[in-house]
Amino acid sequence: MQVTETKAEGLKREIEVVVPASDLEARLQTRLFETKDQVKLKGFRPGKVPVAHLRKTYGRSLMAEIINQILNETPRKVIAERNERSAMQPEVAMSEDEGEAEKVLAGGSDFKFTLRYETLPTFEIKDTSGIAIERPVVDVSEDEVEEQVKRIAENARTFEDKDGAAESGDRVTMDFVGKVDGEAFQGGTAEDSSLVLGSGQFIPGFEDQLIGAKAGDTLEVKVTFPEEYGASHLAGKDAVFDVTVKAVAAPGALELDDEMAKKLGLESIDKLREIVRGQIESQFGTMTRQKVKRQLLDALDGEYDFPLPEKLVEAEFDNIWTQVSRELEQSGKTFEDEDTTEEKARADYRKLAERRVRLGLVLSEIGEKAGVTISDEELQRALFEQVRQYPGQEQQVYDYFRKTPEAIQSLRAPIYEEKVVDHLLATVAVTDKTVTREELMKEDEDESAAA
């Protein structure tokens, strides 16, 4: 096999490979002799079929198998021998001349093809001990825990039917039909729908117009959908709901005690408070982790500048752009609604794609040098989490991941990234800063806008 580099521009490589006809013939002869004892042909005893006859019968198909084997094996072998790493699967280009292809299959010509790929860039891992990160931490107050416990208790509160007019806090059971321009719209009709007045679950203004209603009343509720309403065909539209009130119920006493907790399957109110505190701390911990990780990645991004494989950037940009386009379509918005243009958005998201690819390569290199690995148990947990999201289709989802290496890699990559981040956080200076819940949330909004 003859291997010749025909292009080396930056990270781009082009390699011409020639497999002499003599090498192909040697492989074919080996396959023919292996086949001789396996085939059964009419008129010949097993193992006694002449090689020349086998070649005439099976030579072309066996040569095609040999060619496919060469195409499967050669790219990886050539790149490894050159001590390079391909950023993506190499492209293989062959002659489109059918006559030339027939000559190769007939064993009368060398097999020539070209490999095209981009190498992964090489760079030195830099010292991270000088990186300083400020970790925002929220202290969960007793008042916040108690407020959340009260919300849970509200959901567990009992209601008793009453004959009087509905007041704020009462539960109204009703049928309704919503119309825009006199036509009922999809999702605007319901029967036996329950609504606690003052809960803010319905469109602004809807609940206020039910104050004073009694069981058996029929009324028109007139509202205007918010401009930012999720369904674009209703956003900003005036609507009329024909409502029939079927029952009005007053709330029972709100008791924060062990009996209320037992209704939720817990042994005591203190246990409920413990669980609530843990949930709030977990929520804040997730936000804190995001802030710390963002600071770390920003610091790393500022330390590295090297050429990026164009195809990796293109693939990442396509993923981002597909998601952005889908979100705009679902919301019914345009780039102008977001105070930008498609051209500027493309440029901004291209920079984001470059950042993600660069940081991905840096984290991968750091993780490799640090010996970061993913256990089978960790991968299985991630797989089970995916499977759980599709009740009733568990086996199909499991089979898909088992048979699709790319899908398994999509589970492996985020686990690996988080473990490398954990490794890095142990090497940088991290100081805690106590912040309020509002400050933590505001930082999150600022970062989202800057992303």
Q: Would you state the pLDDT for residue 445?
A: 46
Q: Would you state the pLDDT for residue 231?
A: 81
Q: Would you state the pLDDT for residue 448?
A: 43
CATH superfamily of 2-118: Trigger factor ribosome-binding domain (3.30.70.1050)
Q: Would you state the pLDDT for residue 39?
A: 66
Buried b (16+ CB within 10 A) or exposed e, 394-411: eeebeeebeeeeeebeeb
Token pair recorded at residue 194: 């329950």
Distance separating alpha carbons of residues 178 and 222, to the nearest angstrom: 9
Q: Would you state the pLDDT for residue 446?
A: 45
261-450, CATH topology level: Trigger factor, domain 2 (1.10.3120)
Who contacts 304 (Cβ-Cβ below 8 Å, separation ≥6)? 123, 126, 358, 362
Tell me the CATH architecture of domain 158-253. Answer: Roll (3.10)
**Domain boundaries of the chain, sorted by first residue:** 2-118, 158-253, 261-450
pLDDT in tens, the chain (451 residues): 899 999 999 999 999 999 999 999 999 888 888 777 666 666 665 666 667 777 887 788 899 999 999 999 999 999 999 999 999 999 999 988 888 888 988 888 999 999 999 999 999 999 998 999 999 999 999 999 999 998 888 877 889 999 999 999 999 999 999 999 999 998 899 999 999 999 888 999 999 999 999 999 999 999 999 988 878 788 899 999 999 999 999 998 888 888 888 888 899 999 999 999 999 999 999 999 999 999 999 999 999 999 999 999 999 999 999 999 999 888 888 898 888 999 999 999 999 999 999 999 999 999 999 999 999 999 999 999 988 888 888 899 888 988 888 888 889 999 999 999 999 999 999 999 999 888 888 755 444 444 4
Distance separating alpha carbons of residues 87 and 119, to the nearest angstrom: 5
Distance separating alpha carbons of residues 306 and 326, to the nearest angstrom: 32
Q: Would you state the pLDDT for residue 252?
A: 85
pTM assigned to the model: 0.72
> What value, to the nearest 5°, has the Cα angle with vertex 245 and ends 224 and 253?
100
Neighbours of 451 (CB within 10 A): 9
Token pair recorded at residue 241: 């709901």
Distance separating alpha carbons of residues 396 and 412, to the nearest angstrom: 20
Q: Would you state the pLDDT for residue 37?
A: 65
